[in-house]
Each structure stands twice: as structure tokens, then as C-alpha cells.
Amino acid sequence: MPSLRPRGADDLGLRRALSDRLLPLLVMAMIFLAALALSGAVAAARLAQHWQGGAAALLTVQVPQPDAPAGRFSRAQAVAAVLGATPGLITRQLGAEEFSAILKPWLGDSAGSLSWSLPAVFEVRGAAPPPDLGARLAQAAPGTLMERNGVWFDRLALLARSVQASAALALLVVALVAASVVAVATRAGLAARRDAIEIVHGLGATDRMIARQFSRRVTFLVFFGAVLGLGLALPLLLGLASLTAPFQPDLPPVASPADLLRALPPVLWALLPALPVAAAAIGWVTAQVTVRLWLLGLP
């Protein structure tokens, strides 16, 4: 004869045995840290992508004494001719006002009226420059300096990978701590309801039925705490996004709540809701394993 008890019935009194305050609070704190770690990993990946598509592909060429003669042309014209004749390169010479604006933070308003000649600066983008480009530039205008930003990108890429690895390690630690907390809370609930469990187990309740009641209660508490932690982390993440929005040229200025929501990367909007789901899955599996191992010790 099928049981008339509803599936959600609290036969073992777990609402009293498993606290609805301590476990959600602990999970809330862990999900808060997990959201920050996940956001740091996404931000590091975006930074590396931005540099790879922008400054990492930039080659800077400086020509001292640009107006001095170099054959039939000036030194700057000779370098521009070499760069223009190299396939796959897009060359742009910085104007005098633009170069003065770059020097203004260090030289002040006098950057545009110095008594000595400023070098000509070329920005070169496009394909990877040929290995002999530096030698050809030096031959056209001796003393020409060529700086590759790829060296700095390699360092930034290493930093970004380190941040991502640290974030992954932090998420792993959070998951292990969450599993440990759930296991301790479950064992405390088992100890508190030992007599009732032994009675229903002796009356024919299977390990699956008992483990299901524990896992259902634990999953609810963990998911509830995870949602609270995500709700606590989201305002902080949005605040940080508003501070970093001016440094992201692909985003409009933050002038409304909708702009603020767009400041967070779409991949982060997809990953953040997965945190409570993952926490609930960890809680369910941990409760199942803990209860079944504990039941093995019953007579």
C-alpha cells in the first residue's frame, strides 16, 4: 500500500536538527568569495584579450633628429618610406600636438615649446614585422629606435594567467570548504536525530529514503545561502564595474542603471547564476555520501 505521507514531509524532524541560520550564513560567505574570485578571473581574461588585440600588436618607432637629411629625404621621411614599403604594416606618424599631449604629464605645458628637436614617432600596426625591419630602419636613419610592446604583453599575459590560476584555486578551496561545512552540518543533524533514524531504519526505511530527506533539506539551505551570497556580491561587482567602465573603450559612459548592468561582461552574467546551482549540487552530493556512510555503521 503506498504511503499517504507527502513527499516533502519532515519525518525525521530535520527542520530542528539542521539549523536554518548557521549553514546558510556560512554558504553565503563562501559564495560571496567565489563570486569575487570568478569576477577576477573574467576580468583578467578580458584584460589579456584587450592587450592582445590592441597594444600587444603595436610597434613604436622613434626617429631622433627627424628633420636632419638622410640622402634625398629627411630622416623621418626615409623611415616612413621603409615602413610604407613593408607589406602588411599600417603606419601612422604622431602629430606634434598629439606627441606634446603624451609628454604633458611629465613636462607640463612646456612640452610643446622645448628648445631641442623632438623625435618623430610612428605607430605601426598590422602583421608581424619582418625580422630585418630594425636593420633596414637603422640603415635608412641611423639611431632609429624600434620598440615592441609584445614583451610587455607577454608579462601581462603571464600576470593574467596567474590571476586566473589563483581564482581557480580559490574556487576549488571554496568548493572543498563548502563540502566540509555541509558534511559537518549533516553529521551534526545525524547525531541529533540518531534515535529517530534508528527507529525508522528498524521499521524498514531504506538508506535511500533517509539520505533523500537529509539531502533535500541540505540542498534547500545551501541554495538559499548561495542566493543570499550572490545577492550580496552583485552590488559590489556593479560598483567595481562602474569604476572600471571609463577604462573600457567599447562601453558607453555609465549614465543609467542599464549602462551599469552592461558594464559587467556577458560571460559573467552567464557564470554568476551557476554558482548557487553548483553549491546546491555540492550540498546534495555531500549530504548523500555523508548519510549513506553514517548509515553503514548502524546495526
Residue-wise pLDDT for 33-72, tens only, equals: 999 999 888 877 777 676 665 555 578 888 888 888 887 8
Q: What is the pLDDT of residues 91-101, one digit of tens each?
A: 888 877 777 77
Give the CA distances from residue 39 to residues 73, 92, 157, 176, in Å, rounded to whole numbers and listed in that order: 53, 36, 17, 19
- The residues with which 126 forms a beta bridge, in sequence order, are 89
Q: What is the pLDDT of residues 125-138, one digit of tens each?
A: 776 778 888 889 98
**Structural domain boundaries of the chain?**
14-46+159-295, 59-148
Q: Which residues contact 122 (CB under 8 A, 6 or more apart)?
A: 60, 61, 62, 63, 79, 80, 83, 91, 92, 93, 94
Q: What percent of the chain has pLDDT over 70?
A: 73
pLDDT, averaged across the chain: 78
Rounded CA Rg of the chain? 32
Lowest mean pLDDT among 97-111, 163-177, 263-277: 97-111
pTM of the model: 0.64
The CATH class that applies to domain 59-148 reads: alpha beta
Which cell numbers hold the place of 112? 610643446
> How far apart are the C-alpha atoms of 124 and 84, rounded to whole Å?
10
